[in-house]
Amino acid sequence: MITNELIKQSIDYIMQHLDEEISIDDVADYCHFSKYHFSRVFKAETGESIYAFIKRLKMEYSAVRLKIEKDKSITDVGFDYGYSPSNYSSAFKKHHVISPSEFRKAMNTTCVLHPYYPDKHARFQSFEEYEKQIVIEEMEEFEVISERYIGNYIELGKNWSDFIDKYKDYFKEDTLLIERSYNDPSITSADQCVYDICMTVDKNDSIDHVTSIQGHKYAVYRYDGLIQDIFGAFLGIFNIWLPNSRYEMNERYCLGIYRTLDIEKMQVVMDLCIPIK
């Protein structure tokens, strides 16, 4: 878990300014730290240097853009993250092993290998099937207790258990449990995924780690099935529905809002929400 609140804020700042010329000095100044002290604290909390973190996110977020923005040229995507055409191709291939054009072609598939279950494939529905099940909603702002993690989603169950036990006194009848995820696990290494686990609270509650999830327009898909298959459902929306819809992603995160959860049967009803414009 990211225990330093300033490091959490610095990650937010980096993700919000990823398509700008952002430097280590910019991030340190934002958090009111000297560059050298902040660099040490950041690496201790995240396991990466600030420079490596920024560079990695540029490569991973640009890969997501290549996947969901089919009409945008590879050159323009690279340019958005500060790369010339040749530099972007070289940096992308060094990070992802394949070139941007090969990556984009590889996305034209109906299934992918599951990152958490190596013997399992996530299979996708057709665009028409997703289109019938997705509802466009304007959601209000959520006030939430939030804790941030960098790590494998396999650990999510334990983290949720600890989180719920820690904040059980704030549970009410209308409390919602929400996950906010910032990475595509088919692109980001499993142990480097950034995610928040959140619980809605009243604005008047006096408690640490309270933040807001801004109100947005969302594409909402109601998932009802096994917990282990959530990944496939989310990725299907990204790989099949979003690139072929008339919408663009509006923020660099997605929400998973729990409606019902049966741990014994490993079943969940969950709203998978993508902020759109």
Q: Tell me the pLDDT of the chain (277 aa) as tens digits.
A: 999 999 999 999 999 999 888 999 999 999 888 999 999 999 999 999 999 999 999 999 999 999 999 889 999 999 999 999 989 999 999 999 999 999 998 887 777 877 777 778 888 999 999 999 999 999 999 999 999 999 998 898 899 999 999 999 999 989 999 999 999 988 999 899 999 999 999 877 677 778 899 999 999 999 999 988 898 899 999 999 999 999 999 988 999 999 998 888 889 999 999 999 9
pLDDT of residue 140: 92
Distance, CA of 198 to CA of 112 (rounded, Å):
29
Distance, CA of 41 to CA of 31 (rounded, Å):
12
3-state SS class at 181: strand
3-state SS class at 134: strand
Distance, CA of 165 to CA of 162 (rounded, Å):
5
Alpha-carbon torsion (201, 270, 213, 50), positive or negative = positive
pTM over 0.85: yes
pLDDT of residue 264: 86
Taking the chain, what is the end-to-end CA distance rounded to the nearest angstrom? 31
For the stretch 54-98, pLDDT in tens is 999 999 999 999 999 988 999 999 999 999 998 999 999 999 999
CATH 3.20.80.10 residue ranges for the chain: 132-275
Q: CATH number of the domain at 5-106, out of 1.10.3720.10, 3.40.50.620, 3.10.620.30, 1.10.10.60?
A: 1.10.10.60
Q: What are the structure tokens assigned to 26, written together?
A: 């910019």
Q: What are the structure tokens assigned to 242, written together?
A: 């979003």
What residues contact 97, with CB distance under 8 A and at least 6 apart?
none
Q: What are the structure tokens assigned to 108, written together?
A: 């034209």
Task: Give 237's DSSP letter.
Answer: I
pLDDT of residue 91: 96
Q: What are the structure tokens assigned to 235, written together?
A: 């990725």
CATH 1.10.10.60 residue ranges for the chain: 5-106
pLDDT of residue 179: 96
pLDDT of residue 115: 73
CATH topology of domain 132-275: Multidrug-efflux Transporter 1 Regulator Bmrr; Chain A (3.20.80)
pLDDT of residue 67: 92
